[in-house]
A and B are shown apart, each in its own frame.
Chain A
Amino acid sequence: MLATVQTVRRGRLRWTTLCMTSPSLLLLFLWMAVPLLMTLYFSVEHYNLMSANRTRLVGFENYLYLLREPGFPDAVRNSLIILVSVVAVTITGGTLLAWLFEEDFLGCRIARFLIIAPFFVMPTVSALLWKNLMLHPIYGLMAFPVRAIGFGPIDWFGRTPMLAIVLILSWEWLPFAFLILLTSVQSFNRELKEAAIIDGAGPWAVFRYLILPHLKRAISAVIMIEAIFLLSTFAEILITTSGGPGTATTNLTFLVYSLGLLQFDIGMASAGGMIAVVLANVATFFLMQTVAREFRSTQAV
């Protein structure tokens, strides 16, 4: 009797558990699988919203066209340039800043907040802030020192567009890297550090051989999150350069957007979308591998 009651009860519990988890999992699965399958299907179709004969299966034709499109190699290259340079700048800067803020100083909480602030500025605001207030060739703040040393106006987004984009993105993401790395530095075992100092290790040795290896996990986390977001950079490019001049700042995200939503070529855009999935996973994988290798050599020294 008791046994049956317990089985019924356990059965009901399992049922409740299922009711609790399934809505999230089901919706998340649909949110991921439906668009992905549709993209996959569109990518092997001739499907242009502007042409009459709507759909025709064409196999890999879209992919072949995309690979031959002159803008495509540029887009992949630009995506990778953005990813690698912003990750390099933010990890280096974030590590140094975290080291600096590891111990308290006068007003360090306020200073920390000032550094974190750019992360909470929405992308459209930071794009316009840099484009119009900072780097504008005539009215921007940077124009004045440039003029003072005798140069003419410099159009940063025209002459060095990628540098300007990387600058904006690094400014947005440095706070994030700093915050994660600071949290990690502060969780470092103090006694271990003090023991090393008593044994005569200088601040550099402490940083190099104790703190840096400890940061491995945090650095990997920062790289992974930044890779996800940086490969999807969109608003900053749309607002400052619209992918130009030419295709100088078109990344894969922007290329897919312009193929699909500006030229209505659903098939080509979908092929680009599929390549974006592959690129995101491959690039992240290689970055993580590099970090792992880097740390292996650090520990060997």
Chain B
Amino acid sequence: MKSASKWIRFVVGWAAALWIFFPIFWMLLTSLKSESQAYAAPPVVFFRPTLENFRAILEQSSYARYALNSVYVSCGATVFAMILSIPAAYAMAFRPGRRTKSLLVWIMSTKMMPPVSALVPIYLILGHFALLDSVASLIAVFAMSNLPIVLWLVYSYFCEVPHEILEAGRMDGMTPWQEIRYLLLQMSLPGLASTALLSIVLCWNEAFWSINLTSAKAGPLTVFIATFSNPEGFFLAKLSAASVLAIAPILVFGWIAQKQLVRGLTFGAVK
């Protein structure tokens, strides 16, 4: 009985996994084909793999620019959000006031405003100051839209640090900033690191603001991939290679940060 249920789990579980993963696998396979093989009917499954598409994409100067923008924007916005969050989360976790709980709820509720309601004003403001298509403004926008999630995650990690340790530090005459610097950052480093990782993943994959606010100069990879949607750009193998390059690093990060994903996106409702 026990082993029968184990077998069912094994067979059905793996079937579901392969079924769901198949499109990504097929994209990986297509990226290793020549263009003519990618269009072949019936589809080619066995072929001599080539790295030609990856070479073509990487040699294209624009790819490097988009990829670098993605790195700048995701890391910049994450650093910005972390710098804002850490002191605020410290104050809320260790020196809560009467209004702290309602402030936390308010922070979460800002996520209920759909980005499209802010699109027109943000677009006009940035256009007015000639800040459209700039990496700096995209960093600011991403940082603000991820701040609630980052702040909540950092807060929930700080809440797990025993108060006694911080009190011991306070007895020795530490200021709040020193407590953060020498005690908290050390003790909750794993939590903070994976929070940062989750924030990078969310920024890397964000497509609403990046498509609307940037184009050729400051556009990240989401915008680069979007340029393949016009008919002239219809090269299946090259599209696949570019896509594989765009998602590969984030798949690895995502695997490491999956626990924080659960905790961060549900605002701690599920741990």
Contact = CB atoms under 8 A, between A and B. Distances in A.
A and B associate: yes
Interface string B229-271: 1000010100110010011001101110011011001110111
A280 B113 contact: yes
Contacts of B151: 24
B49 interface: no
A234 interface: yes
Contact of B226 (A21, A36, A235): A235
A65 B94 CA distance: 52
B204 interface: yes
Contact of B255 (A31, A113, A253): A113
Contacts of B145: 31
A187 to B, nearest CB: 7
B117 A273 contact: yes
Nearest to B9: A105
B42 interface: yes
Contacts of A27: 84, 144, 147
B148 interface: yes
A180 B266 contact: yes
Contacts, number: 279
Contacts of A125: 225, 243, 246-247
Interface string A114-136: 11111111111111111111100
Interface in A124-182: 124-134, 138-139, 141, 143-144, 171, 174-176, 179-180
Interface string A94-110: 00010011010111101
Contact of A100 (B9, B21, B92, B205): B9
Contacts of B221: 122
- What secondary structure prevails in chain B residues at the interface with A? helix
Contacts of B205: 120-123
Q: Which of A19, A121, A269 gathers most chain B CB within 10 Å? A: A121
Contacts of A110: 17
Interface string B1-18: 000011001101110111
Interface residues of B, number: 92
A221 B266 contact: yes
B117 A133 contact: no
Contacts of A187: 271
A38 B208 contact: no
Contacts of A139: 38-39, 41, 236
Contact of A122 (B14, B114, B176, B204): B204
Given A97-B16, A133-B27, A124 B207 contact: yes
Contact of B117 (A35, A113, A122): A35
Interface stretch (A51-59, A188-196, A225-233, A293-301): A225-233
Interface residues of A, number: 97
Contact of B21 (A39, A114, A126, A257): A114
A234 B117 CA distance: 13
B195 interface: no
Interface in B210-236: 211-212, 221-223, 225-226, 228-229, 234, 236
Nearest to B257: A120
Contacts of A28: 107, 110, 144, 147-148
A80 interface: no
A48 to B, nearest CB: 12
A145 B118 CA distance: 44
B145 to A, nearest CB: 8
Contacts of B207: 122-124, 234-235
Contacts of A38: 120-121, 124
Given A21-B92, A114-B17, A132-B239, A257 B261 contact: no
A41 B175 CA distance: 45
A114 B247 contact: no
Given A28-B147, A235-B226, A101 B176 contact: no
A32 interface: yes
Contacts of A243: none
B88 interface: yes
A124 B225 contact: yes
List of 3 A-B pairs having minimum Cβ-Cβ separation, nearest first: A35-B118, A120-B254, A20-B87
19 contacts: A28-B110, A39-B121, A97-B16, A103-B9, A110-B17, A111-B17, A114-B18, A116-B258, A118-B20, A120-B253, A122-B207, A124-B211, A125-B246, A143-B41, A225-B266, A228-B114, A232-B114, A235-B207, A266-B124
Interface of B: 5-6, 9-10, 12-14, 16-18, 20-21, 23-24, 26-27, 30, 38-39, 41-43, 84-85, 87-88, 90-92, 95, 97, 103, 107, 110-124, 144-145, 147-148, 151, 175-177, 201, 204-205, 207-208, 211-212, 221-223, 225-226, 228-229, 234, 236, 239-240, 243, 246-247, 250-251, 253-255, 258-259, 261-262, 265-267, 269-271
Given A144-B43, A179-B258, A180-B266, 4 more contacts: A31-B110, A42-B120, A112-B17, A235-B222
